[in-house]
A and B are shown apart, each in its own frame.
Chain A
Amino acid sequence: MAKYTIEVNGKSREVDVAPDTPLLWVLRDELNLVGTKYGCGVAQCGACTIHLDGEAVRSCVLPISSIANKKVITIEGLSENGDHPVQKAWDEVDVAQCGYCQAGQVMAAAALLKKNPNPSDEEIASSMTNICRCGTYVRIRQAVHMAAEKGGTLWKG
Chain B
Amino acid sequence: MERLNVTRRNFLKVSSLLGGGMLIGFPMVSKSEAASNAVFSPNAYLKIGADNTFTLIAPNPEIGQGVKTSLPMIMAEELDLDWKKVKVEQAGFDPELYGRQVAGGSGSVRSRWQEARTAGATARALLVAAAAKTWGVDVTECHTEAGFVHHKKSGKKLSYGELAETAATMPIPENVPLKDPKDFKIIGTRVKNIDNDNILTGKPLFGIDTKRPGMYYAVVARPPAFGKKLKSFDDTESLKMQGVHKVVKWENIVAVLANSTWNAKKGRDALKLEWEDDSPLESTADHEKILKSFLDKRSDSPARNDGDALKFLENGGEIVEGTYEAPILPHATLEPMNFFADVREGKAELYGPTQTPASTRGQVSKALDIPEENVTVGLSRMGGGFGRRLMADYSLEAAMISAAAKAPVLMVWMREDDMQAGFYRPMGKYKYRATLNDKKELEAWHLTAAGLNNQRTSIPNSFPAGAVSNFRIDNHNKESNISTAPWRAPNHNFIAFAEQSFLDEIAHKAGKDPIQLQLELLAKAKNNPGGKVDYDIDRYENVIKELAKLSGWKNNNGANGIYQGFAAHYSFSTYVAQVAEVSIKDGKPKVHKVYCVVDCGQVVNLSGAENQIEGGIVDALGHALYGEITFDKGVVQQNNFNRYKLMQLQDAPMEIITRFVRNEHDPTGLGEPGFPPAHPAVCNALFAATGKRIRKLPISHTDFKA
Contact = CB atoms under 8 A, between A and B. Distances in A.
Interface string B261-286: 11100100000000000000000000
A29 B211 CA distance: 9
Chain B interface category by residue count: 35 or more
A135 B260 contact: no
Contacts of A133: 332-334, 383-384, 386, 619, 646
Contact of A137 (B206, B243, B649): B649
Contacts of A135: 614-619, 621-622, 647, 652
Query: Which of B64, B190, B334, B616 has its CB near the most chain A CB atoms (within 10 A)?
Result: B334
Provide the main secondary structure of the chain A interface.
loop
Interface string A66-89: 000000001110100010000100
Contact of B641 (A30, A44, A136, A140): A44
A28 B206 CA distance: 13
A78 B63 CA distance: 26
A62 interface: no
Given A91-B196, A103-B199, A103-B202, A137 B611 contact: no
Nearest to B382: A98
Given A21-B262, A125-B650, A42 B200 contact: no
Interface string A118-146: 00010011101111111111111100000
A29 to B, nearest CB: 4
Given A96-B199, A139-B614, A39 B262 contact: no
B650 A94 contact: no
B335 A37 contact: yes
A128 B641 CA distance: 16
A152 interface: no
A138 B652 contact: yes
Query: Which of A45, A100, A102, A128 has its CB near the most chain B CB atoms (within 10 A)?
Result: A100
Query: Which of A1, A101, A121, A138 has its CB near the most chain B CB atoms (within 10 A)?
Result: A138
A41 interface: yes
A154 interface: no
A45 B649 CA distance: 12
B200 A91 contact: yes
Closest A-B pairs by Cβ, 5 of them? A35-B202, A98-B64, A100-B383, A135-B618, A137-B652
Interface of B: 62-66, 190, 192-193, 195-197, 199-206, 208-209, 211, 217, 242-243, 259-263, 266, 332-336, 381-386, 412, 414-415, 607-608, 611-612, 614-619, 621-622, 640-642, 646-650, 652-656
18 contacts: A18-B242, A29-B217, A29-B261, A34-B209, A37-B383, A39-B334, A41-B640, A91-B196, A96-B195, A97-B612, A98-B335, A98-B381, A98-B385, A99-B199, A129-B649, A130-B648, A133-B384, A135-B615
Given A21-B262, A94-B192, A134-B384, 13 more contacts: A21-B260, A25-B260, A33-B202, A34-B209, A35-B203, A44-B641, A94-B611, A97-B66, A98-B383, A99-B195, A126-B650, A131-B647, A141-B649
